[in-house]
Amino acid sequence: MKFQSLVIAFFAVSHLMAQEHTHQSSRALEFPNIPGYTTLKTDLHQHTVFSDGNVWPNIRVMEALRDNLDVISLTEHIEYQPHKEDIPHPDRNRSYEIALKEAQNHDLILVHGSEITRQAPVGHNNAIFIEDANPLLVDDAVNSFAEAKKQGAFVFWNHPAWYAQSPKGNPVLSDFQKERINKGELHGIEVINTGDYSEESLALALENNLTIMGTSDIHGLIDWDYIEKGHTRPITLVFAKERTVESLKEALFAGRTVAVFNSLLVGKTENLVPLLNASVKFEKAKYIDNTTILEITLRNVTSSDLIFENQMPYTFYSSSPVFTIPAGGTKTLQIKTLEKIMDLTLKLKALGAYVAPKEHPIVSWNIRLEE
């Protein structure tokens, strides 16, 4: 009888814990919405055992929930199946189907995708928003891209600077890519893949009006490959009109993205500057008594450290002109205005952000000071 009571108590506690359980962890990624748009946190390049990854598809869903992502895509290599002796599944959609079953009871958007994998000059490319991965598996890569377009896919060029395909570590825009762009079959390019940031890929994005992407390209565990090494996973922030698949797709085709890895943020000026503006909140703006030294406390509402350099005519008191607002934390600036003013334009260069190779955006906030 005592044993039965213990068993009943155990299951009661387990049931209660299950009801209160949340997948989200302390490493949850946070970024603000910007005016007119909802900011979607996405990782659109991931692998499982159904290609060359090391985990079952449901694990990718669980990791995404822990990281507070809004959208993921499992982009298995359709041509490369190294686990087929153990998992000989002929349907290239199977990974998506398993993950979809895991995600259906959670607030996570799962986008159907696959990776078209060939030697240079084709390289590796992700096609997402597809309907069926199997027709992409054809001998001629030209036909694979044509099929992706037929299915309405958004296609982006993966790790174009990868040394295994480009020994100099720089992307090569071949005639194949040029033709795909001209035919509307290539729409984006990864400027951040795993821990690699390619300035040359950013230049290609700007020159060819390609959507800027950042992805984890995870094969192992997010915890092992990123978290335990002190990193957050690379992601793409997508600025969508609504939190729907349709709005996500529209935003990607329109190029409204910022790629993020730790304190690195990369995007077009029209996307990155509004994000930075929304990422800093002001908690205090008041003069120190009997001085003309203005104290302003800035709060970083994102998961990335934000690194700035002073661009105002005013200098700082007891502080370097270069400073960091830690992720989720605050920084108090003491600004020597020389005379008391009622309005201040705080003008900073975002050193951790890039709108072009070696080019940082300038961000301004107009602040009304306390009496």
Asked if residue 18 has pLDDT above 50, the reply is: no
Reply yes or no on whether the pLDDT at 6 is more than 50.
Answer: no
Residue range 269-295: average pLDDT?
Answer: 96
Q: Which residues pair with 322 in a beta bridge?
A: 309
Radius of gyration of the chain (CA): 24
Is residue 234 over pLDDT 80?
Answer: yes
Indicate whether 89 pLDDT > 90.
Answer: no
Average pLDDT in the 337-353 region?
Answer: 96
How many C-beta atoms surround the C-beta of residue 131 within 10 A?
11
Distances, alpha carbon 208 to alpha carbons 3, 34, 128, 165, in Å: 70, 25, 20, 21
Q: What is the pLDDT of residue 260?
A: 98
Give 71's strand partners: 42, 109
What's 24-262's CATH class? Answer: alpha beta
Query: Please, where in the chain does CATH 3.20.20.140 lie?
Result: 24-262
Question: pLDDT, tens digit, for every residue of 32-82?
Answer: 999 999 999 999 999 999 999 999 999 999 999 999 999 999 999 999 889
The dotted CATH code for 275-368 is 2.60.40
Q: How far apart are CA 273 and CA 361, in angstroms?
A: 7
> What pLDDT, on a 0 to 100 scale, did the predictor assign at position 88?
85
Provide the pLDDT confidence category of residue 9 given band limits of 50, 70 and 90.
very low
Contacts of 168 (CB under 8 A, 6+ apart): none
Between helix 57-66 and helix 94-103 the angle, nearest 10°, is 40
pLDDT, mean of residues 13-40 = 72
Query: What is the location of CATH 2.60.40 in the chain?
Result: 275-368
Residue 47: which of 215, 262, 186, 192 has the closest Cα? 215
**pLDDT (0 to 100) of residue 22:** 52
Q: Please give the mean pLDDT across all residues of the chain.
A: 93
Can you give the pLDDT at residue 318? 85
Q: In a 3-state reduction of DSSP, which class is residue 70?
A: coil
- What pLDDT score was predicted for residue 23? 65
Q: What is the pLDDT of residue 26?
A: 67
